Amino acid sequence: MSEISEAPVKTGPRNRRIAGTDPDKRRQILDGALQVFTSRGFDAASMSDIATAANVSKGTLYVYFADKEHLFVDLIQREREIQKRGAIEALNEDSDPVRALSRFGLCIVRMINGDLAVSAHRVVIGVAERMPDLGREFYENGPMLGSKLIAGYLDRMVAEGKLAIDDTYLAAVQFLDLCQSTLTRPRLFNAVRTPPSDEEINRVVGEAIAMFMARYGRGTGTAPAPR
């Protein structure tokens, strides 16, 4: 008797995705969430509102995001990735430390002081004690990542003899803190309710560059901060 080969059992369409991993659906939810959070703020927004705006069921929404806090943080991660591309390009392409750090500083300060970013920082700080993993993730993908990007650039500038820095990560954090002086903390505490003007940001970042180069510069990189 000849052997009869059995056809493989079909388990479903080949393009079937694991629940919660469809990038188009995830983008659709985040787009809806952006509308809701922007118009209503974090506290007033509900998962039902977001599901309606995204045109998905609440069941689908919870497959992708465990709660409103995680959804909000993921939205902020996406938005800041979009906004910081120009800053990263400056570090990758410009070998003048004043010009590159100025562009990076201006971009980051504008982003951090935007309404959505300020709300995100308040929310994360508020839930970090009961949701430490969320706080750590937000920090590692935001402030820490930005500091590492600058530190990598500073390493290259040290190797080229343009800067003299022993601890480039510490110098990177110092630079970011200097750029936010007088601008970010008042926003976080709602003492100032509107983002700083371009004139204010240019002045603070320009002074940050001057102080940074006075400490770490070697007489190079004298281009003015971009306007």
Query: What are the average pLDDT values for consecutive 10-residue runs of the chain, which has 227 residues?
Result: 43 50 91 90 91 94 92 85 76 90 93 90 90 90 92 96 97 98 96 96 97 88 46
Instruction: Find out whether 109 and 225 touch, Cβ atoms under 8 Å.
Output: no
- For position 77, what pLDDT does the model report? 83
- For position 14, what pLDDT does the model report? 43
- CA–CA separation, 10 and 146 (whole Å): 47
- For position 5, what pLDDT does the model report? 41
- CA–CA separation, 86 and 165 (whole Å): 25
- For position 98, what pLDDT does the model report? 95
Instruction: Find out whether 118 and 111 touch, Cβ atoms under 8 Å.
Output: no
Instruction: Find out whether 183 and 204 touch, Cβ atoms under 8 Å.
Output: yes
Q: Is 11 left (phi over 0), alpha (psi -120 to 50) or beta?
A: alpha
- Domain spanning 80-216: CATH superfamily: Tetracycline Repressor, domain 2 (1.10.357.10)
Query: What digits encode the pLDDT tens for the residues 182-202?
Result: 999 999 999 999 999 999 999
Structural tokens at position 66: 């465990």
- For position 38, what pLDDT does the model report? 85
Task: Supply the pTM of this predicted model.
Answer: 0.78
CA 217, chain centre distance (Å): 28
- For position 226, what pLDDT does the model report? 47
Q: Which residues pair with 217 in a beta bridge?
A: 163
Question: 136: Cβ–Cβ under 8 A, 6 or more apart, which residues?
Answer: none
CA dihedral in degrees (181, 99, 116, 66; nearest 10)?
-110
Instruction: Find out whether 38 and 114 touch, Cβ atoms under 8 Å.
Output: no
- Domain spanning 18-65: CATH superfamily: Homeodomain-like (1.10.10.60)
Instruction: Find out whether 151 and 172 touch, Cβ atoms under 8 Å.
Output: yes
- For position 53, what pLDDT does the model report? 95
What are the extents of the domains in the chain? 18-65, 80-216
CA dihedral in degrees (123, 124, 125, 126; nearest 10)?
50
Structural tokens at position 210: 């001057």
